[in-house]
């Protein structure tokens, strides 16, 4: 199996621009942490998307490409992985699968490209998905399997199918050898049983009253003939048993012939339920993000309104200082309007002038921020429309329809299984 060195992706989930994850500088155990800048938490940051990108590249993703496709760009999904041995694998919704090795390049949505990928991976992809890929909130794998699924999984893991095929072929050979002898023996037993029944029937008959001596003698000869034939049949039967040898132990296991179909339907139902739950979770996450955005926008608008009120108060205060400055400039006291031409007058004018300039700058800064209010109100309106759209947008319409159809098929097959009679 190849070792992944690094991989890049774009157009998937919330990632629009090209993202690259380099694994060569990391340890064997990697933990992915995320930060959602909208909510401040880790939910919805795109942690699972980085793994889904790798699953999409290897063709083991359970999520359709239409759901993986980013909703905020028209560019199709694109994922590329670089592996040891100068092997590069690229998969995109537009160009399909491309595999580059030192010997050759295979590309396109062809069976040949997928077979080449299986050859490079070296493991059945269903088995690979089971061993190293587990979706978010997916339950335990092995404990959820039916007995038949557990058996098939272990046979595949331990590579025992070849031995099972040899055992089945040997069982068929044994049955082919012993079936003719079994039919021959059963025929001999049937003939012997018929002879015994004839003898018992003859012995049970009543002797007629006339010609007693002649009938008794005739009956005696007939009995002796039957005994002789019976002994001969016994000897022949014994010889056939000796020639046949020990009868092999044949284990016959009857099962519902549609078990595999029923197991596939159960698996599809489980996967569809996971998709439905994930779609609901994604919708709730989007609604939460939109609500959070509206809340932050409204906080900003309230902040602008408070700045506007402060600017009005400061402007009134500046106007008052200007009046005082005019009185001092005219040589009058700002409170009693008497003549005041002293050194203290000039100091007071300089102090008030500095206060006027300082507060004017603050008012200008406040008004500059307040001018952003219309833009944020427009953002609030768009965010409210987006929230309304996400809240009323239906989800899982097709998935729930498919689920009902699968559950109906499951019910029919379960009824058939209950009505099976094993003879």
Residues 213 and 86 placed together within one structural domain of the fold: no
Residues 222 and 267 placed together within one structural domain of the fold: no
Question: What average pLDDT does range 141-167 have in this prediction?
Answer: 74
d(CA 90, CA 9): 10
Residues 59 and 166 placed together within one structural domain of the fold: no
Pinpoint the alpha helices (H) of 7-160: 47-58, 65-68, 111-121, 125-132, 147-157
- In the block, tokens 């197991």 appear at 263
Count structural domains, the chain: 3
Residues 306 and 367 placed together within one structural domain of the fold: yes
Per-residue pLDDT of 255-304, as tens digits, reads 567 888 889 999 999 999 999 999 999 999 989 998 999 999 999 899 98
Residue 367 lies in a domain: yes
Q: Give residue 77's domain range.
A: 4-136
pLDDT at 148: 81
Per-residue pLDDT of 181-236, as tens digits, reads 778 888 878 888 887 887 777 777 655 555 445 455 565 566 777 777 778 877 87
Residues 69 and 131 placed together within one structural domain of the fold: yes
Per-residue pLDDT at 158 exceeds 50: yes
What's the whole-model pTM score? 0.37
pLDDT-based confidence at residue 349 (cuts at 50, 70, 90): confident
Tell me the CB-side half-sphere exposure of residue 329, using CA atoms within 13 A. 9
Residues 277 and 384 placed together within one structural domain of the fold: yes
Per-residue pLDDT of 63-104, as tens digits, reads 888 888 888 888 899 999 999 889 999 999 888 899 999 998
Residues 219 and 291 placed together within one structural domain of the fold: no
Token readout for 391 is 């809240």
Residues 110 and 210 placed together within one structural domain of the fold: no
Per-residue pLDDT of 379-414, as tens digits, reads 999 999 999 998 998 989 999 999 999 999 999 988
Give me the percent of the chain exceeding a pLDDT of 70.
84
pLDDT at 81: 93
Highest mean pLDDT among 203-207, 252-256, 367-371: 367-371
Distances (CA, A) of 37 to 119, 125, 143, 284, 289: 42, 36, 38, 17, 10
């Amino acid at each position: 199996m190849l070792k992944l060195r690094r991989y890049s992706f774009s157009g998937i989930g919330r990632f629009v621009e090209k993202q690259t994850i380099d694994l060569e500088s990391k340890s064997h155990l990697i933990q992915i942490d995320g930060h959602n800048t909208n909510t401040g938490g880790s939910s919805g940051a795109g942690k699972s998307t980085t793994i889904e990108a790798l699953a999409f590249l290897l063709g083991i993703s359970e999520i359709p490409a239409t759901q993986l496709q980013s909703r905020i760009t028209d560019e199709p999904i694109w994922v590329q992985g670089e592996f040891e041995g100068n092997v590069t694998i690229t998969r995109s919704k537009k160009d399909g699968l491309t595999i580059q090795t030192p010997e050759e390049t295979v590309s396109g949505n062809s069976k040949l490209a997928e077979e080449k990928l299986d050859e490079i991976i070296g493991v059945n992809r269903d088995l690979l998905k089971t061993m190293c890929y587990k979706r978010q909130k997916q339950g335990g794998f092995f404990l959820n399997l039916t007995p038949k699924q557990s058996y098939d999984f272990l046979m595949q893991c331990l590579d025992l199918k070849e031995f099972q095929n040899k055992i089945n072929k040997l069982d068929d050979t044994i049955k082919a050898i012993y079936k003719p002898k079994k039919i021959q023996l059963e025929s001999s037993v049937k003939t012997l049983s018929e002879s015994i029944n004839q003898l018992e029937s003859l012995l049970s008959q009543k002797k007629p009253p006339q010609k007693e001596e002649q009938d008794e003698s005739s009956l005696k000869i007939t009995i002796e003939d039957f005994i002789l034939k019976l002994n001969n049949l016994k000897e022949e039967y014994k010889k056939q048993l000796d020639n046949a040898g020990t009868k092999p132990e044949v284990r016959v296991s009857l099962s519902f012939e549609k078990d595999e179909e029923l197991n596939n339907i159960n698996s599809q139902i489980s996967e569809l339920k996971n998709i439905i739950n994930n779609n609901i979770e994604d919708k709730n996450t989007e609604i939460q993000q939109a609500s959070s955005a509206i809340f932050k926008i409204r906080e900003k608008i309230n902040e602008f309104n408070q700045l506007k009120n402060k600017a009005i108060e400061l402007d009134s205060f500046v106007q008052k200082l200007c009046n005082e400055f005019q009185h001092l400039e005219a040589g009058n006291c700002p409170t009693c309007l008497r003549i005041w031409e002293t050194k203290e007058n000039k100091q007071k004018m300089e102090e008030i002038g500095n206060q006027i300039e300082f507060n004017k700058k603050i008012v200008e800064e406040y008004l500059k921020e307040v001018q952003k209010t219309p833009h944020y109100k427009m953002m609030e309106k768009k965010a409210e429309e987006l929230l309304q759209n996400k809240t009323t947008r239906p989800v899982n319409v097709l998935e729930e329809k498919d689920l009902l159809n699968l559950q109906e098929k499951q019910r029919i097959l379960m009824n058939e299984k209950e009505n099976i009679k094993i003879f």
